[in-house]
Chain A
């Protein structure tokens, strides 16, 4: 089956630093990737949708200058949390859609971010 990986799985950083999270599709080409955020006991909230080679589309209320998304290749998307603050601490999950199977999203294992 299709596999999506995320790196790192855990990150702890100081307030004010920037953190980059990678999302990779390992055995398929992901024309579209999605970034979600999940707070404890809450549902996954879509942050942004990115299509390879174009700018990401951000959901209402998500600061595009704070959460930088790059989808430079068909197998890699990155989310950079700039100047992270404790309120950015959350579980970040990416998903990827295979261009040949438009209905299916394959989810990564998630990245736990803790900002001190």
Chain B
């Protein structure tokens, strides 16, 4: 059974700090990996998608890296802001085309002013 693990489960930082969220997956034969943001009681917003052939993707203050051989991905958030407070989910697709996503439990981030 494929498993996706996210560490830490929760993180609290002061505004302005750079931070790293971690995601690991048991099967390195992935198709792609996505990072999502989920606000309390809300749906998911896709942040970054990394194809298995890619090493990283960047969007604004967010940078996601992928090391398929070691089964790891990191999400780097630069200069964190209170508006970044949310739960960040990592999801892995293991098959091409009509693949389904396997999600981690998420990291709950709180950025205090």
Contact = CB atoms under 8 A, between A and B. Distances in A.
B60 interface: no
User: Of residues A43, A91, A95, A102, which shows the largest number of chain B Cβ atoms within 10 Å of its Cβ?
Assistant: A43
Given A34-B100, A49-B100, A102-B97, A42 B44 contact: no
Contact of B43 (A34, A45, A107): A107
B100 A42 contact: no
Interface residues of A, number: 24
A46 interface: yes
B43 A43 contact: no
B61 interface: no
User: Of residues A46, A104, A105, A108, which shows the largest number of chain B Cβ atoms within 10 Å of its Cβ?
Assistant: A105
A4 to B, nearest CB: 8
Nearest to B105: A43
A59 B103 CA distance: 14
Contact of B105 (A41, A102, A108): A41
B49 interface: yes
Given A41-B105, A103-B32, A103-B49, A46 B42 contact: no
Contacts of A45: 103
Interface string A92-114: 01010100001111011110100
Q: Is the interface of A mostly helix, strand, loop or mixed?
A: strand
Contacts of A6: 43
Contacts of B101: 34, 44, 46, 105
A34 B91 CA distance: 14
A115 B48 CA distance: 35
A43 B106 contact: yes
B104 interface: yes
B89 interface: yes
Contacts of B100: 34, 46, 49
A109 B4 contact: no
A34 B97 CA distance: 14
15 contacts: A41-B105, A42-B105, A43-B4, A43-B103, A44-B103, A46-B102, A91-B41, A95-B44, A102-B98, A103-B93, A104-B49, A107-B36, A107-B44, A107-B45, A112-B41
